Chain A
Amino acid sequence: MIAFASAPWPWYVAGPAIGLFVPVLLIFGNKLFGVSGSLRDICAIVLPARVEFFHYNWKRKGLWNLLFVAGILIGGFLVAQWAGVKNVAISDQTRLALTKLGIHDFSGLAPREIFTWPELLTVRGFVSIVLGGFLVGFGTAYAGGCTSGHAISGLADLQLPSLIAVIGFFAGGLISTYFILPLLF
């Protein structure tokens, strides 16, 4: 049990555990599992301005999603206190490829050479964090969903729009990985 708590979960535990959120949310409250809708909700609360997209009853439609993402943050925090991830055991090939890019510190969940506050002032830090975050927010709002909403919920419901979106996710990810990252480092 202690080993299970401290080691990363094998894929056949992690994957089904993620998939189960779809029926649990549907059965509990008729909610479609998804995360990125919370970004729209926060915009609707903080700065709806005169943008029609942000004028809706977020208390009724989005409150559950806001609590869900608040929970995600708390869940990450709690796990980090007792059974956090110290090193991610990626494949040797990936380690080699990233070393060639200029990554030397493989501790933690994300490279400390990029994902720290001072790095925001560097080109690669700014592009990775600020531009990357911006594209995540714009893209998920435009596509109407992210990995959870489209790749899990949408594909599970055999929706063609979600399949198109997921193909887009990977197209974009491959472009960034092979063409943009090498320029940054």
Chain B
Amino acid sequence: MSTATSPNQSASGPGKDQTWFGLPVYLFLGILFGAVLTKSEVLSWFRIQEMFRFQSPRMYEIIASAIVVAAASVALIKKFQLKTISGEPITIPPKSLGLGVRYAVGGTIFGLGWALTGACPGPLFALVGNGVTVMIAALASALAGAWLYGWLRPKLPH
């Protein structure tokens, strides 16, 4: 991806115009990710069922190797204090634990939905692309769910 550097970046100051000049790249990366989700079959309801029934190591091998590669990359980025291609320091904001309730309860609620739809948010978009168009209804409903959370947020424990 480093070939995508724009020469005028340094002139406009670090990070300032990053969002605009980089936008097509995020679309392109998304296309790649949609292809990966499809060819890995992680977007399949059948694979998700196989995973939750512990009847094949495949999904666990995929998730575990993804985490290992990501963790090694993050460790290297931190160790060598790498910068973004526009020269910004790379920062990963820590998530605040709080009471931990949002993670335990929110995570469980998502898990209930994950096994019902057989898809997490990325795969929902990829499934629509793959022609399972009824997932548009699942996405619309997911938006309603996210909206309801936003509305209830001041009243919910976090």
Contact = CB atoms under 8 A, between A and B. Distances in A.
A interface majority secondary structure = helix
Contacts of A117: 133-134, 137
A115 B134 CA distance: 6
B65 A144 contact: no
Interface string B111-137: 111111111111011111111111101
A167 B108 CA distance: 8
Given A15-B61, A73-B129, A94-B55, A140 B106 contact: yes
A123 interface: no
Contacts of B130: 76-77, 79-80, 84-85, 109
B125 A133 contact: no
B156 interface: yes
Interface in A76-124: 76-80, 83-85, 88, 90-91, 93-94, 97-98, 106, 108-111, 114-117, 119-120
Interface in A10-26: 11-26
A51 B71 contact: no
B52 A174 contact: yes
Contacts of A175: 108, 111-112, 115
Interface of B: 1-2, 4, 15, 18-19, 22-53, 55-58, 61-71, 73-74, 76-77, 82, 84-86, 88, 90-97, 100, 102-122, 124-135, 137-151, 153-154, 156
